[in-house]
Amino acid sequence: MGRPPPWSPPWSPAPAIRLSAGLHALAAAGAVAQPARWPWLLGGVAANHLLLGLTGAWPQTRLLGPNLVRLPAACARRGEIALTFDDGPDPRLTPAVLDLLDAWGAKASFFCIGRRASAHPALIREIAARGHGVENHSHAHAGAFACYTPAALHRDLMRAQTAIGGITGRPPAFFRPPMGVRSPLLDPALNRLGLRQVTWTRRGYDAVCGDAGAVLRRLSRGLAGGDVLLLHDGGGAAARRSRPVVLDVLPALLDRIAAAGLKSVPLHTALA
């Protein structure tokens, strides 16, 4: 499990990465041709790195590589949306989320943390058995994930692929970076493992906001076919001392999805 699939296309750098590489080459050539200008050239390279870092902090950017923020047009025409859940599995919260989804006949995609999957394999099998997708949300969900070296990125992704794929029998096909923040070095690592990055059309901030009405408004305002919605079944959402707000938001959201004539499907079904 976790090996790169044979159909992975060769990696092609995104335009922003090509531009950055060209800038580095020009700076190196300039430093050789005019050594006295090295402080200015170094400043230009540093500014480039800062810009790349800020770009990676924008979850919906496609400047650093492919990034799915909406389902394809064909899914939108069929009235399909993607409900996605991050940071699980959690033995207290995930089963309740699964029961709510079952009650509305909805299917979702769960972006699971590899080490949590290893700790709760029966719960991962339950998610898959109920017809939902189990995808990669990194192995450790480290705050420094966006600063990892290429080797560390590959190692972390591979550990999550192996953990989840070993439990479900299907290595994840999709990846969501922790907090949605990506590194300029992430795209080749994803390509190597045949993973496709998915972020979201809109998020509810349910992991940090205790106001169910506000979370519901963020998720349902302008709700339409093709949307990718983000909620949480672990992490901050599960750690709240009071009742996790997702349990109050999800029934109302599923009602609105049904009233709009929409259907929630897992990513591996929508993008088959």
Tell me which residues are annotated as active site. 86, 232
Quote the distance between the C-alpha of residue 196 and its chain's center.
9
- Return the sign of the alpha-carbon dihedral for residues 116, 121, 114, 175: negative
Q: String of b and e for 101-129 (b: at least 16 CB within 10 Å)?
A: beeeebbbbbbbbbebbbebeebbeebbe
- Return the sign of the alpha-carbon dihedral for residues 85, 80, 193, 152: negative
Name the phi and psi angles at 160, rounded to 5.
-70, -40
Take residue 184 and report the two structure tokens written for it: 């300029």
